[in-house]
Amino acid sequence: MNLSKARIVLIGLSVISLAIILGTFLWLKLAPRRAPVEWKAQPLEGLSRHGAVPEFSLIERSGKTTTLAALRSKIWIADFIYTTCTDTCPLQSAEMAKLQEELRAAVDLRFVSFSVDPVQDTPAVLSQYAKRFKADSERWLFLTGDKEQLSHLIQAGFRLSAAPLKVSGSDTAVFLHSPRFVLVDKTAEIRGYYDSRDPEALARLKKDAATLLKEK
C-alpha cells in the first residue's frame, strides 16, 4: 500500500470512529430514559398536621348561621365548589355523594362544601344544587356568606387557591380553585389533602377518616 492510499484509509477510519463516537453521544443525550424507581410520595396525606381551621361564621343552605363550633367534636371532609362550575365541581360533588353513601354508618362524620362564588351561590341556589346530589341536610353542609371572609378562609385557613378568572366573551363567572378534599379532625386541625380526581387518593381518604373516627 502506497502512502496516499494509507492516508485515505486512516482518514476513513478516523471519520468512521468520529461518527460512532458522535452517534453514541447523541443517543445517550437524546434517547428516552427510564425514570428512577422511587417511593410514591404523598406528603399531603397520611394524617399529618397542617394547622387548624380558623374560626368562621357562614350561612348554610338552610339559611341558618353555621360556625366552626358546630363542627368541633366531628370529623369532617371539606371541598370547594361553585354551582355554575362545569369542570371539576360536578365531579367533586358526585364523589362527595359517594362518600356520604359509603360512610353513612359513621355518625360523627360530616361533609362541608364551601362556595367560592358566594355572590351567585345564595342559600336558595345551594339548596337546589344540593338536591341534585341527594345531600343529607344533617350530614352535608353547603356554606356561603361574606365574599372576603370566604376568600380568606380558603386561602389563608385551608391554604388552597381560589380566584376568579375573567373569560373574554363569557357572561358566566369562572373560578380557579383546588379540586382537593380536605380531612379535618375533631379539634378542627387539617390532617390531609386528597385529590378528588384520583381513586387511590379517595381510598386513602376513607382509610384515614376511619382511623380518625376510631380515636377517642
What number of other Cβ atoms are within 10 A of residue 128's Cβ?
11
Calpha distance 127→121 (Å, rounded): 9
> What is the topology classification, in CATH, of domain 57-214?
Glutaredoxin (3.40.30)
Predicted pLDDT at 34: 37
For the chain, which residues make up each domain, given as ranges? 57-214
Predicted pLDDT at 71: 96
Distances (CA, A) of 59 to 23, 51, 97: 68, 24, 21
Q: What is the mean pLDDT of each run of 10 residues along the chain (216 residues)?
A: 51 50 40 36 70 96 96 96 92 97 95 96 98 96 96 92 63 79 97 96 96 89
Predicted pLDDT at 161: 78
DSSP H helices in the chain: 3-30, 89-102, 123-132, 147-152, 199-214
Say if residues 74 and 186 touch (Cβ distance below 8 Å).
yes
Say if residues 192 and 182 touch (Cβ distance below 8 Å).
yes
Predicted pLDDT at 27: 39
Calpha distance 44→22 (Å, rounded): 45
Predicted pLDDT at 87: 85
Residue 195: enclosing H or E segment and its boundaries?
Answer: strand 190-195
Calpha distance 216→201 (Å, rounded): 25
Q: Could you read off the pLDDT of 84-130 as tens digits, one per residue?
A: 998 899 999 999 999 999 999 999 999 999 999 999 999 999 999 99
Residue 76: enclosing H or E segment and its boundaries?
Answer: strand 75-81
* Placement of cell 410514591 in the chain: 40
Q: Could you read off the pLDDT of 61-75 as tens digits, one per residue?
A: 999 999 999 999 999
Calpha distance 125→189 (Å, rounded): 29
